[in-house]
């Protein structure tokens, strides 16, 4: 249920509604918005009668929310959510470009790529430290050491970091070290991890599971929001289908569907979505045209020697080419792409 209040409602009136919600055993969430004051209710098992609230001072309406996901739905908040990371925004007019290697492999590797990316205008550096690999014999990441190298490289280049949290065991460490916390496709259904991420106050990049429906993705986002963290960025990264020429099938339908159903920003990962470096550029462009708020792309200085996902990683020169194309496309679709910042790389 969503309780709407007069724009001029006093703090006491807002507190009165929240107290009523709590007295019924439910949780009250103040929904930020420029147009109205709204309080979302979660924790109710069935229908809640609007009569509990309609007579309270300041309340103008109490409307049921029909979707199973509540706090992340457009019904509850009609304006797009914009997530701030330092001075940079995710979900605004500027496309968010997150780039970097699949895994942090060494101090020099991540620093080299960080400086090159900064030069190209990128603001977010990705790099896995705790890697969830399909084989126990594959490179599992540099773990804590990788987190430190990523932080150091990002600080030196002036970038924000994005890295994956693999389980609740390393959560505190990852949350302390990174600016954006990534939940990988394999963990989209890890509800205890999602609830823990609901208690932090940093943005979470939630990737779609490879066999998850869009509704399940939104329900996983709801797990995070239900615990009080509304800084969530969704990511379409391809789903498993019968097709074998690509690693996954990048479901670009998800972009406009999510935009219709949710106020959260959504970005696209064409690297995992295709599994082939030569498909990354066309699908990245398609994603942006479909309305994605940004991209997360694997970039490696030497893909042939990468310890993970080299086959789908772009060389920096190809990635630079993609950014140029996105700047041109931006003019057509009414979005901007970060401009180059010359003179950072030695
Ligand atoms: C990754 O981003 O390197 C990754 C493992 O992605 P996903 O969880 O989408 O497979
Ligand atoms: Mn990868």
Asked if 220 and 194 count as a contact pair (C-beta separation under 8 A), the reply is: yes
Assess whether the C-beta atom of 128 lies below 6 angstroms from ligand 1: yes
Residue 345: the pLDDT is: 57
Say what the pLDDT of residue 230 is. Answer: 97
The predicted structure's pLDDT at residue 343: 64
207 lines ligand 1 (CB under 6 A): yes
Alpha-helix residue ranges (DSSP H) falling in 209-269: 214-226, 254-261
Q: How far is CA 121 from CA 68, 99, 118, 186, 346, in A?
A: 39, 11, 5, 30, 15
244 touches 237 (CB < 8 A): no
Those residues whose C-beta lies under 8 Å from the C-beta of residue 324, and which sit 6 or more positions away, are: none
The residue to which tokens 């932090």 are assigned: 200
Cβ partners under 8 Å of residue 143, min gap 6: 129, 130, 170
Residue 296 parent element (H or E):
strand 294-298
As beta bridge partners, residue 97 has 295
Cα–Cα distances (Å) from 106 to 117, 138, 141, 143, 192, in that order, read 17, 16, 10, 11, 31
**pTM of the predicted protein model:** 0.95
Q: Is the CB of 272 under 6 A from ligand 1?
A: yes
Could you give the domains of the chain? 2-63 (3.30.70.1140), 83-333 (3.20.20.70)
Residue 216: what pLDDT?
Answer: 98
CA 181 – CA 296 distance, rounded (Å): 13
With a cut of 50, which residues of the chain have pLDDT below it?
none
CB 203 within 8 A of CB 85: yes
Question: How many Cα atoms occupy the beta-carbon half-sphere of 201 within 13 Å?
Answer: 1
Q: How far is ligand 2, taken at its centre, from the CA of residue 109, in Å?
A: 16
Per-residue pLDDT, 46: 86
Tell me which residue has its CA closest to atom 5 in ligand 1.
184
Give the Cα separation of 12 and 309 in Å (integer). 55
- Looking at residue 344, what is its pLDDT? 59
Binding site membership of 185 for ligand 1 (Cβ less than 6 Å):
yes
Question: Does ligand 1 lie within 6 Å of residue 337's CB atom?
Answer: no
Residue nearest to atom 6 of ligand 1 (CA): 184
* Distance from C-alpha of 74 to C-alpha of 266, rounded to nearest angstrom: 14
């Amino acid at each position: 249920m969503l309780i709407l209040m007069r724009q001029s409602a006093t703090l006491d009136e807002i507190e009165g509604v929240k107290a009523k919600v709590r007295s019924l055993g439910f949780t009250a969430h103040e929904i930020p918005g420029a147009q109205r004051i709204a309080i979302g209710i979660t924790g109710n098992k069935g229908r809640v009668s609007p009569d509990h609230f309609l007579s309270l001072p300041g309340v103008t309406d109490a409307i049921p929310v029909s979707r199973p996901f509540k706090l992340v739905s457009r019904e509850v908040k009609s304006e797009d959510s914009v997530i701030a990371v330092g001075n940079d925004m995710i979900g605004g007019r500027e496309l968010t470009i997150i780039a970097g290697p699949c895994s942090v492999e060494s101090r020099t590797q991540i620093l080299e790529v960080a400086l090159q990316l900064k030069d190209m205008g990128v603001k977010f550096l990705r790099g896995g430290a705790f890697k969830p690999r399909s084989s126990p014999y594959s490179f599992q990441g540099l773990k804590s050491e990788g987190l430190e190298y990523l932080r150091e490289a990002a600080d030196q280049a002036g970038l924000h970091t994005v890295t994956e949290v693999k389980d609740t065991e390393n959560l505190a460490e990852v949350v302390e070290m990174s600016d954006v916390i990534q939940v990988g496709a394999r963990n989209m259904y890890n509800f205890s991890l999602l609830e823990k991420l609901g208690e932090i106050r940093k943005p979470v990049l939630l990737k779609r599971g490879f066999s998850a429906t869009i509704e399940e993705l939104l329900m996983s986002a709801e797990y995070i929001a239900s615990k009080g963290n509304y800084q969530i960025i969704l990511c379409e990264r391809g789903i498993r289908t019968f097709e074998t020429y690509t690693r996954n099938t990048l479901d670009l339908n998800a972009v406009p569907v999510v935009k219709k159903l949710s106020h959260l920003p959504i970005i696209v990962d064409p690297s995992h979505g295709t599994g082939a470096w030569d498909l990354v550029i066309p699908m990245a462009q398609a994603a942006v045209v479909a309305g994605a708020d940004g991209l997360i792309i694997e970039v490696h200085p030497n893909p042939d020697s990468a310890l993970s996902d080299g086959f789908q990683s772009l060389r920096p020169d190809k990635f630079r080419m993609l950014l140029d194309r996105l700047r041109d496309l931006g003019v057509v679709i009414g979005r901007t792409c970060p401009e180059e910042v010359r003179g950072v790389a030695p």
